[in-house]
Amino acid sequence: MKLRIQDDSIRLRLSHGDLQRLAEAGRVEAETRVAPGSSLVYRVQTADRADLGAELDGTTLTVFVPERWIVGWPDDERVGFEGTQDAGEGRQVALLVEKDFDCLHKRPDETDLFPHPNA
């Protein structure tokens, strides 16, 4: 799973294996060690809700996806889901959860990615 944060935007890309785990277990997460004893954990988790949502609890970022959106997603043509959430002080954070497609120019670390739709 890849995390991209830019300004008021959070984007998570899920490999085929990540998406299978999300569909089966309702959650997938990764951890990035920042310093000794300090990590950033980021996860995608299904939830009984109407839209995408996110929360930051200490050093754990969780993006919530409605359970019903995940049904069939690993095997269908939907690329991903996007939404916004109130971030306070008149700001919105954009949320995007999508399949991670391999590049048109192959690299060795792309064995678990979805085939690029334009390939």
State which residues of the chain have pLDDT below 70.
103-111, 119
Q: How far apart are CA 119 and CA 116, in angstroms?
A: 5
Using alpha carbons only, what angle is made at residue 66 by residues 22 and 56, rounded to the nearest 5 degrees?
80
> pTM for the whole thing?
0.85
pLDDT value for 102 = 74
pLDDT value for 118 = 74
Q: How far apart are CA 50 and CA 33, in angstroms?
A: 33
pLDDT value for 103 = 67
pLDDT value for 23 = 94
Sheet containing strand 60-66, strands side by side: 27-35, 38-47, 60-66, 53-57
Q: Which helix (H) or strand (E) holds 17?
A: helix 16-25
Tokens of 3: 């995390």
The residue extents of the domains of the chain are 2-99
In 3D space, the residue among 35, 53, 34, 113 whose CA is nearest the CA of residue 43 turns out to be 53
pLDDT value for 44 = 98
pLDDT value for 111 = 67
pLDDT value for 106 = 64
pLDDT value for 75 = 87
Q: How far apart are CA 49 and CA 106, in angstroms?
A: 37
